[in-house]
Structure 1
Amino acid sequence: MKTQARVVVIGGGAIGVSVAYHLAKYGWEDVVLIEKHELTSGSTWMAAGNCSFFHGNYYCTQVNMKSIEIYQGLEAETGQSVGWHTTGSIRTADNPGRMEELGYIYSMNRCLGLDVDWMSPEKMKEMHPLMNTDGIIGGLYWPDDGDVDPNGITMAMSIGAKKHGAEINTHTQVTGIDRTASGEWLVHTDKGDVTCEYVVNAAGLWAPEVARMVGLEIPSIAGEHTHILFEAIDAVDSHDTYLPLVRDPDRSIYIRQEMDSLILGLYESKVKQWNPKGVPWDYAQTELQPDIDHIADFIEHGIHRFPIMGETGFKHVTDGPITYTPNGDPLVGPAYPLKNFFHACGYSFGITQAGGIGHYLAGWIMNGEPEIDLWPVDSRRYGSYANWAYNHEKIEDTYPRLYAIICPNDWRDAARPNRTAPIYEYQKQAGAVFGDYYGWECPNYFTDNTADKRETPGWKRNNTNAYVDAECKHVMEHAGILDLSRFAKTRITGPGAEAWLNTLTCQKVPVRDGRIALSPMLDHNGNFKSDMTITRIRDNDYFCVTASVGKRHDQHWLMENLPADGSVCMEDVTYKLGCLVIAGPKSREVLAKACYDDVSNEAFAFGTSREIYVGRVKCRVNRMNYVGELGYEIFHPIESQISVFQSLMAAGEAHDLKMFGMYAMDSMRLEKGYLAWKSEMNVHHTPLETNVAWTVKMDKDFIGKAGLEKQKAEGVPRQLVCLVCEADDADPWGYNPIFNGEEIVGMTSSGGYGHRTDKSIALGYVPPALAAPGTRLDVEVLGKRLAAEVVAMPLYDPKNERMKA
């Protein structure tokens, strides 16, 4: 075994082998893979091998697409059979909510150019004669889906990896990982040590143990999964073509052909966690004892959908462990707060994504940036709250809901509440209905406490609409208060702070005390990395605020770019400071009564920051907000939040100050055309394509400048626009195709209903030639095309008179 390597990949399942294969294939030398047993000894050996284009997320669908592309070419490249069958797949629906979900998936898939079509129950029966279609109202069909041999693809990629120079070591166990004085990683094994620049944790069932070797806790726990192979079925064997895979998500089952029979896979109502506190190191390729009583109801579901299985015996019941994370999606990418340590673990659908994630993660490691936006699977999407106990509770809810209807507002109760602001009880008393955002309980909307508060999730406007409408219009006419304590907050100090921050953002860092700047951070290609506001407190002292969900992502980027000379210090103050926002035409009067200072427009202009006593508490007050009304962000010591809140509410009583929630904020930001991180601002877009191009200052050096210069020289390929859609009860949510005639010319990035303007709104990217206000286009929502018109941004208060009043 080598003692020096560029990268060590830990884990010899389909994921780890794929990462090693792609790193070697794309030109990295000294790639070493370490596996404690034989390849495929973890979860890979028992996988069913289904490969589908279906995923609820746009970018994860691209990973699936890349996997299928790779698998179909592996045999020709390596000579190893991978057992690929193109069978097509059907996904059924037996209720309107499921049909809405499929409508969203259909439209999103069309953005990606996938071959997908609607299917009637009659057509399903024709395509799969053994299927009972009773109760089904429709579905989708992907003709290019298929299945693969998990062992075959892993062995093929291992052959390819070795062909390109990678070293694969089996029966070699990692025993520890240390950091050397020079900053390299030292991977200890029972066969010797390897010093390397990069480590990839692709250890599957053992990924938590490997993470603990470097001081990390990751939310990944093993659970048992069962699939059943039936005895030979003559009607299957005699069929002249491969039968399509069928997923019946409303019964939480899938059925596909395997040789002359059928396989039934299922996700039962309660997961059986397996060695949740740590999988034994000596486990390998051993089947677990199946619990037929535990899965009996779902076997009945399978027999209902395919009655012939009720006439057939079991040939083999496979019960084995696979890993689960809090939301069922894997943990991929840089491991916060470490340098050059990556995760590729937590997979419950590993074969579906192994090829694709190996490709994309290899590119991420080699180039420093992902080729597509992998935020939906980024391990940094979880904070410290996502510990073992959190996941232990969460996957009890996640596993039985793996086939639940996907919709954007389905807030689950498991492992909640977790992190609450001090005014949480006041919010509850006011009728708050909460969502969880990066572990924080945040009000989505407020009710009058007399009606059923629970949201009815779905893709159409629902029972929250009236509440959100009232909140938006109240903020527009009076004043509202919003808790945004969850903001990620970082203090940057030191003699090199100003110069360093100027390299991190395309905007110029404020040079006067009390000034605030909207300061996008870009990656090395010039695409959006993060959205940040920088407030200059004093010389060499800056207060930076970013999105709460991006806390680890953004602070990791800052940490990785800190100068080595110690001239810049970085302090995370997220949990030390709360933030209350007051907004609306009466907000100045509320603040004036609550504080001991002059807050007139002349004394406290828009875009400035001051230290002000609010009641008895010294606060940092920024005159700006995300809703487009006169307003203030009031940052305060978190332990004093109740005092600040009470002072504001008492001062606001005469001005009808009321609390409002996240749904109202998002509605109002759409009307103002304010960009959202990982919607409008992601790795596929630059500021030059948006309405924040004014933040780009090309007369200084900054990360991403060369990328912007290149784009300016070549011409900006697309432009962010605001579209008003002729919608009835279903608004765009994002990832909706935008049509010009019969041609798909763009895609929405986010959308919803604007309650102050009473319009259905979408933000999205189109060619510049179609970006002029008045351009008529169509937006497809839930499979239905809606007429839409490009309008000038911002749609609400276009001259910003209300915000700057």
Structure 2
Amino acid sequence: MKTQSRVVVIGGGVIGVSVAYHLAKYGWSDVVLIEKHELTSGSTWMAAGNCSFFHGNYYCTQVNMKSVELYQRLEAETGQGTGWHTTGSIRTADNPGRMEELGYVYSMNRCLGLDVSWVTPEEIKAMHPLINVDGLIAGLYWPDDGDVDPNGVTMAMSIGAKKYGAEINTHTRVTGIESTPSGEWRVSTDKGDITCEVVVNAAGLWAPQVARMVGLDIPSIPGEHTHILFEAIDVVKDRDAYLPLVRDPDRSIYIRQEMDSLILGLYESKVKQWYPQGVPWDYAQTELQPDIDHVADFIENGIYRFPIMGETGFKHVTDGPITYTPNGDPLVGPAYPLKNFYHACGYSFGVTQAGGIGHHLAGWIMNGEPEIDLWSVDSRRYGSYANWAYNHEKIEDTYPRLYAIICPNDWRDAARPNRTAPIYEYQKQAGAVFGDYFGWECPNYFTDDPVKNRENPGWKRNNTFDFVGAECRHVMEKVGLIDLTRFAKTRITGTGAETWLNTMTCQKVPTKDGRIALSPMLDHNGNFKSDMTITRVKDNEYFCVTASVGKCHDQHWLMHNLPADGSVCMEDLTYQQGCLVLAGPKSRDVLASASYNDVSNEAFPFGTSREIYVGRVKCRVNRMNYVGELGYEIFHPIESQVAVYQTLMAAGEKFDLKMVGMYAMDSMRLEKGYLAWKSEMNVHHTPLETNVAWTVKLDKDFIGKTGIEKQKAEGVPRQLVCLVCEAEDADPWGYNPIFDGDAIVGMTSSGGYGHRTGKSIALGYVPPDLAAPGTRLEVEVLGKKLAAEVMAMPLYDPKNERMKI
């Protein structure tokens, strides 16, 4: 075994082998993979091997697409059989909510160019004669889906990895990992140590134990999963072509052909966690004891949908462990706060995604950036709150809902409340209905009866619509209070702070005390990395604010770009400071009544920051907001939040101050054309394509400048536009195809209803020649094309007068 390597991949399941294969194939041949037993002996051995394009996320669908592409050619490349069968697959619906989900997926898949079509119950029956279609409304059909032999595809990639120079060591267990003074990693095993630059934790069932070796607590816990192979079925054996895989998510089952019979897979109502506090190191490729009583109801579901299984005995019941995370998606990418340590674990659909994630993670490691936006699986989407105990509660809810209807704003109660602002009880008393944002409880909207008026989530306008509309109009006419305590807040200090921040953002850092700058951070290609506001507090001190969900992501980027000379220091203020926002034409009146300072427009102009007293509490107040009205962001010591809140509410009583939720804020930001991180601002777009191109200052050096200059020279390929859609009861949400005639010319990035303008709005990217106001296009929502018109941004208050009064 080598003692020095560029990369060490820990784990010899299909995920780890895929990462090693792709790294070696793409040129990083100095790769060592360590597996404590044989390859595939963790969870891979018991996988069903289904490979579907279906995923509720646009970019994860691309990961699945890359897997299928690889599996179809891998045998020719390596000589090892993979068992690939192109069978097609059908996903059924037996209720209106599921039809909406399939409509969203259909439109999203069309953006990706996938071959997908609607099928009627009669067409489903013709494709799969053994199915009982009673109760089905329709389904989606993907003719290019298939299945693969998990062991075969893993072995094929291992042959490929070794062919390209990687070293694979089986029966070798990692016993410890430590950083060295040189900044490298020392991986200790029972056969010696390896020093390397990069470590990839692809340890599957044992990923939490590996993570703990470097001081991390990751939310991944094994649970038992069952699938059943039936005895031979004559009508299956006698067929010339493979039957399509069928997923009936409303019965939480899937059925596919396996040789001369059928496999039934199921996700029961309660997960059986398996060694949740740590899988024994000596476990390997051993079946667990099936619990037929535990899965009996779902076997009955399978027999209902495929009656022939009721006439056939079980040939084999496979019960084995697979891993689950709080939302069922894996943990991938850089491990906060470490350097050159990556995760590729937490997979419950590992074979489906292995080929794709190996490709994308290899590129991420080699190039420093992912090829596509992988935020939905980025391990940094969780903060410190997402520990083992949190996930222990969370997967009890996640597992039985793996086939639940995918829809926006489906806020689940498990492991909540977790992190609350000091005014949480006041928000509850005011009728808040909460959402969970990076572990924070934040009001989505307010109602007189939070229980009766709890949100009914779905793809169409729901029971929150009128409440949100009332909040938006209240902000427009009077004044609202929004809790944004969850903002990620960072203090940057030091003699090198200004110079360094100027390299971190394409915007120029403010040079006057109290000035604020919208300051996008870009990756090395010039695409959006993060959205940040920078306030100059005083010489050598800056106050930076980014999105709450991006806290670990953004601070990770900042800390690993700090100068080595110690001239810049970072301090996380997120949990030390709260933020309450006043917004609306009466907000200055409220602030004037609550403070001892002059807050007139002359003394406190738009785009500036001041320290003022709100009641007895000294606060940093930024005159800006995310809704496009006169407003103020009031940052304050977290321990003083109740006092600040009480002062503001008392001062605001005569101005009819009311609390406002996240849904109203998002509606209003759409009307203003304000960009959202990981919607408009992701790794596929640069500022030059948007309405914040003015933040790019090419007369200075910054990360991403070369990419920006290249795009400027070659021409911007697409432009962000605001589209007003002729919607009835379903607004765009994002990832909707944009049509010019029969041609898909772009895709929405986000959307919703603008209550101040009374318009259904989509933001999205189209070719520049279609970006002129007045251009008529169409946006497909839930499978239906809606007429749409490009409008000048911002749609609301186009001269930006209201926020500057």
Q: Which residue of 2 aligns with 1:280?
A: 280
Q: Which residue of 2 aligns with 1:532?
A: 532
Q: Is residue 561 from structure 1 mapped to residue 557 from structure 2 by the alignment?
A: no
Residue 732 of structure 1 aligns with an amino acid whose one-letter code is P
Q: Is residue 471 from structure 1 mapped to residue 468 from structure 2 by the alignment?
A: no
Residue 133 of structure 1 aligns with an amino acid whose one-letter code is V
* Matches of 2:123 and 2:108, distance apart in 1: 23
Q: Which residue of 2 aligns with 1:34?
A: 34
Q: What are the within-5 Å matches in structure 2 for residues 271-350 of structure 1?
A: 271-350=271-350
Q: Is residue 796 from structure 1 mapped to residue 766 from structure 2 by the alignment?
A: no
Q: What are the within-5 Å matches in structure 2 for residues 91-106 of structure 1?
A: 91-106=91-106
Residue 730 of structure 2 aligns with an amino acid whose one-letter code is A
* Matches of 2:220 and 2:353, distance apart in 1: 17
Residue 236 of structure 1 aligns with an amino acid whose one-letter code is V
Q: Which residue of 2 aligns with 1:114?
A: 114
Q: Which residue of 2 aligns with 1:190?
A: 190
Q: Is residue 421 from structure 1 mapped to residue 432 from structure 2 by the alignment?
A: no
Shift of 1:448: 1.5
* Matches of 1:803 and 1:142, distance apart in 2: 49
Q: What are the within-5 Å matches in structure 2 for residues 638-649 of structure 1?
A: 638-649=638-649
Shift of 1:691: 0.1
Q: Which residue of 2 aligns with 1:498?
A: 498
Task: Flag as ranges the 4+ runs of structure 1 deviating above 3 A.
Answer: none
Q: Is residue 129 from structure 1 mapped to residue 129 from structure 2 by the alignment?
A: yes
* Matches of 1:288 and 1:63, distance apart in 2: 30
Q: Is residue 211 from structure 1 mapped to residue 211 from structure 2 by the alignment?
A: yes
Q: Which runs of 5+ in 1 are unaligned?
A: none
SS at match of 2:802: coil
* Matches of 1:129 and 1:180, distance apart in 2: 62
Q: Which residue of 1 aligns with 2:24?
A: 24
Q: Is residue 601 from structure 1 mapped to residue 601 from structure 2 by the alignment?
A: yes
* TM-score, normalised via structure 1 length: 1.00
Q: Which residue of 1 aligns with 2:12?
A: 12
Which string of whole-angstrom CA distances, capped at 9 and with x for unpartnered residues, describes residues 412-455 of structure 1? 00000000000000000000000000000000000023871210
**Root-mean-square deviation (Å):** 0.5
* Matches of 1:585 and 1:55, distance apart in 2: 44
* Matches of 1:72 and 1:242, distance apart in 2: 16
Q: Which residue of 2 aligns with 1:771?
A: 771
Q: What are the within-5 Å matches in structure 2 for residues 78-89 of structure 1?
A: 78-89=78-89
Q: Is residue 550 from structure 1 mapped to residue 550 from structure 2 by the alignment?
A: yes
Q: Which residue of 2 aligns with 1:412?
A: 412
Shift of 1:795: 0.1
SS at match of 1:803: helix
Between 55-64 and 448-457, the greater mean CA deviation after superposition: 448-457
Shift of 1:148: 0.1
Which string of whole-angstrom CA distances, capped at 9 and with x for unpartnered residues, describes residues 215-271 of structure 1? 000000000000000000001111221000000000000000000000000000000
* Matches of 1:223 and 1:166, distance apart in 2: 32
Which string of whole-angstrom CA distances, capped at 9 and with x for unpartnered residues, describes residues 169-212 of structure 1? 00000000011110100000000000000000000000000000
Residue 384 of structure 1 aligns with an amino acid whose one-letter code is S
8 A contact 1:430–1:449 mirrored in 2:
no
Which string of whole-angstrom CA distances, capped at 9 and with x for unpartnered residues, describes residues 620-663 of structure 1? 00000000000000000000000000000000000000000000
* Matches of 1:6 and 1:384, distance apart in 2: 29
Q: Which residue of 2 aligns with 1:2?
A: 2
Residue 569 of structure 2 aligns with an amino acid whose one-letter code is C
Residue 66 of structure 2 aligns with an amino acid whose one-letter code is K
* TM-score, normalised via structure 2 length: 1.00
Residue 53 of structure 2 aligns with an amino acid whose one-letter code is F
Which string of whole-angstrom CA distances, capped at 9 and with x for unpartnered residues, describes residues 302-359 of structure 1? 0000000000000000000000000000000000000000000000000000000000
Q: Which residue of 1 aligns with 2:744?
A: 744
Q: Which residue of 1 aligns with 2:246?
A: 246
SS at match of 1:774: coil
8 A contact 2:433–2:450 mirrored in 1:
no
SS at match of 2:247: strand
Q: What are the within-5 Å matches in structure 2 for residues 291-690 of structure 1?
A: 291-449=291-449, 452-690=452-690
* Matches of 2:85 and 2:451, distance apart in 1: 53
Q: Which residue of 2 aligns with 1:181?
A: 181
* Matches of 2:444 and 2:178, distance apart in 1: 44
Which string of whole-angstrom CA distances, capped at 9 and with x for unpartnered residues, describes residues 474-493 of structure 1? 00000000000000000000
* Matches of 1:240 and 1:363, distance apart in 2: 41
Shift of 1:731: 0.2
Shift of 1:65: 0.1
* Matches of 2:405 and 2:139, distance apart in 1: 13
* Matches of 1:93 and 1:409, distance apart in 2: 21
Shift of 1:724: 0.0
* Matches of 1:436 and 1:687, distance apart in 2: 29
Q: Which runs of 5+ in 2 are unaligned?
A: none
Q: Which residue of 2 aligns with 1:261?
A: 261
Shift of 1:282: 0.2
* Matches of 2:751 and 2:30, distance apart in 1: 47
* Matches of 1:29 and 1:464, distance apart in 2: 54
Residue 166 of structure 1 aligns with an amino acid whose one-letter code is A
* Matches of 2:449 and 2:263, distance apart in 1: 49
* Matches of 2:179 and 2:98, distance apart in 1: 50
8 A contact 2:187–2:193 mirrored in 1:
yes
* Matches of 1:75 and 1:626, distance apart in 2: 53
Residue 319 of structure 2 aligns with an amino acid whose one-letter code is D
* Matches of 2:182 and 2:754, distance apart in 1: 54
Q: Which residue of 1 aligns with 2:714?
A: 714
SS at match of 2:414: coil
Residue 766 of structure 1 aligns with an amino acid whose one-letter code is V
* Matches of 1:686 and 1:401, distance apart in 2: 37
Residue 183 of structure 1 aligns with an amino acid whose one-letter code is G
% same residue: 87
* Matches of 1:132 and 1:166, distance apart in 2: 49
* Matches of 1:409 and 1:511, distance apart in 2: 41
Shift of 1:409: 1.1
SS at match of 2:761: strand
* Matches of 1:29 and 1:569, distance apart in 2: 37
Q: Which residue of 2 aligns with 1:139?
A: 139
Between 196-205 and 451-460, the greater mean CA deviation after superposition: 451-460
* Matches of 1:29 and 1:127, distance apart in 2: 45
* Matches of 1:73 and 1:481, distance apart in 2: 57
Q: Which residue of 1 aligns with 2:784?
A: 784
- How many matched pairs? 805
Residue 281 of structure 2 aligns with an amino acid whose one-letter code is W
Shift of 1:141: 0.3
8 A contact 2:186–2:196 mirrored in 1:
yes
* Matches of 1:532 and 1:91, distance apart in 2: 41
